[in-house]
Amino acid sequence: MAAANLASNPPSLPRTLNRAIPKPFFLKPISTLKPRWVTRAVLSTSEPKTQKFQHCFSKSEDGFLYCEGVKVEDVMRSAEKRPFYLYSKSQITRNVEAYKDALEGLDSIIGYAIKANNNLKILEHLRKLGCGAVLVSGNELKLALHAGFDPARCIFNGNGKILEDLVVAAQEGVFVNIDSEFDLENIVEAARISGKKVNVLLRINPDVDPQVHPYVATGNKNSKFGIRNEKLQWFLDAIKAHPKELKLVGAHCHLGSTITKVDIFRDAAVLMVAFIDQIRAQGFEIDFLNIGGGLGIDYYHSGAILPSPRDLIDTVRELVVSRNLNLIIEPGRSLIANTCCLVNRVTGVKTNGTKNFIVIDGSMSELIRPSLYDAYQHIELASPTPSDSKVSTFDVVGPVCESADFLGKNRELPTPPKGCGLVVHDAGAYCMSMASTYNLKMRPPEYWVEEDGRLSKIRHAEMFDDHLRFFEGL
Ligand SMILES: Cc1ncc(COP(=O)(O)O)c(C=O)c1O
């Protein structure tokens, strides 16, 4: 049956299809975000079972912040440079174990999305825990190989993959997602150059509304990613025409990021399985359903009940089993975001009469999500303040010469003394990997607390001399 028929006659009508798009909840002003309201916003229509969550950062009764058993203030004293990123290695392990437990009984690959955080030590740890890797550039592919990931558990994604990177992917035997007509041509060319047949998946847009910020929505019809569904038949014919170069092994989708309702994944999986039925009906023996990444986390620290990896997997399990599929998932944020804080030092406090500012040494250069997406990340002080320090509403800002340089707005905090530690929580994903050297703020060092409580540096600070090196000999 032609793909066009399938596109116009989906097997069931998902509740999250992009027909009437509800006003996204992230557009509400932060001041309206009351804990109860947030809870309502994140609950799925089918109530998720909750998992008891053990957080790696906690405050002692006397007001000091700890990462596992290590006092953050002590780390500040010993760090090479401030600000810095501080991770819990154990929390990374716990997050992976939650996915592994959820996937028990299914053939599956946990493909960690390297774009979320590309620290080599973290990658090696995730690889040892059994993860595969999801790559969106040639350098991420090279880094994954360097970190020892099994190429047969790696997936190369992207709407603009270039030929030379595709050749490496073909040589190494990683899965490659077909994103467009020209992408298919390039993959065929890469297969010829490398003399290897490439295992490919078709990236399809199920057009399910992920109800997230538009900048992190990817699986809708107007997305720059994925094939045009009406052209599915064209892609199947093109793959059939290249039996020496391409082996179609599955279908892929990625709906978006920070998704907090698992029904959205279920609705997409219903559509994807219908596509798989159609593709199989044409004689293709495809085994893999890749539902991408995208599970959100509790950035608000509001106590909201968010879906867990188990809730996510349970919602698609029956579909996967019914078609005897191997499930690929591509989590980034939900594996790494909550394992880390950006630790800053307060440079000073100022007011303009109507607004109060806490100025810190960290900035949009080290952590750009608030500036880029108006994203909320929880902020707290790392040490107790004097008993007479006044609680006020502050914007927490950096020293970068941009008004968009803020880490948090309208935060109620005790007035911190100069030099006090201030942390931005849930900074493990899309923070360091998006850091820049804007205003020549060199990229920060990274540390983690090992399972035995030792502190180890896992990335050196970038220094001014590193910048000068780009000009050596010119
Ligand atoms: C194709 C693909 N897979 C996986 C991910 C990881 O998503 P997340 O970090 O939200 O789990 C992304 C990120 O947007 C992506 O583009």
For the segment 338-353, the average pLDDT, to the nearest whole number, is: 97
pLDDT tens-digit map of 258-316: 888 889 999 999 999 999 999 999 999 999 999 999 999 999 998 888 999 999 999 99
Token couple for 447? 């540390």
Question: Does the C-beta of 261 come closer than 6 Å to ligand 1?
Answer: no
Question: Does the C-beta of 294 come closer than 6 Å to ligand 1?
Answer: yes
- Work out the burial of residue 117: count CB atoms within 10 Å of its CB; fewer than 13 is exposed, 13-18 middle, 19 or more buried: buried
Q: Can you tell me which atom of ligand 1 is nearest the CA of 430?
A: 9
Which of 109, 176, 257, 372 for mutating ligand 1's site (highest number of atoms within 8 Å of CB)? 257
Residues serving a catalytic function are 401
Give the distance (Å) from ligand 1 centre to CA of residue 293. 5
For the segment 69-89, the average pLDDT, to the nearest whole number, is: 97
Question: Nearest residue CA, atom 12 of ligand 1?
Answer: 293
pLDDT of residue 445: 98
Give the distance (Å) from ligand 1 centre to CA of residue 295. 9
For the segment 398-406, the average pLDDT, to the nearest whole number, is: 97
Question: Does the C-beta of 331 come closer than 6 Å to ligand 1?
Answer: yes
Strands 154-156 and 132-135: parallel
| pTM value surpassing 0.85 | yes
Give the distance (Å) from ligand 1 centre to CA of residue 226. 14
Question: Does the C-beta of 292 come closer than 6 Å to ligand 1?
Answer: yes
The CB-side HSE value for 430 (13 A sphere, CA atoms) comes to: 19
The set of residues, in sequence order, having a beta carbon less than 8 Å from that of 299 and lying 6+ positions away, is 258, 337, 375, 376, 377, 378, 425, 426
Question: Does the C-beta of 177 come closer than 6 Å to ligand 1?
Answer: no
pLDDT of residue 343: 98
Strands 446-449 and 455-459: antiparallel
Q: Where are the domains of the chain?
A: 157-328, 336-469
pLDDT tens-digit map of 310-335: 999 999 999 999 999 999 999 999 99
pLDDT tens-digit map of 32-56: 232 222 222 333 444 444 444 568 9
Helices 262-281 and 232-240 pack at an angle, to 10 degrees, of: 50
Give the distance (Å) from ligand 1 centre to CA of residue 219. 11
Per the CB < 8 A criterion, the answer to whether 129 and 113 are in contact is no
Question: Does the C-beta of 113 come closer than 6 Å to ligand 1?
Answer: yes
Cα–Cα dist 431/370, whole Å: 10
Arithmetic mean of pLDDT over the chain: 89
**For residue 173, is it left (φ>0), alpha (ψ between -120 and 50) or beta?**
left
Topology of 157-328 in CATH?
TIM Barrel (3.20.20)
Superfamily of domain 336-469: Lyase, Ornithine Decarboxylase; Chain A, domain 1 (2.40.37.10)
For the segment 408-431, the average pLDDT, to the nearest whole number, is: 98
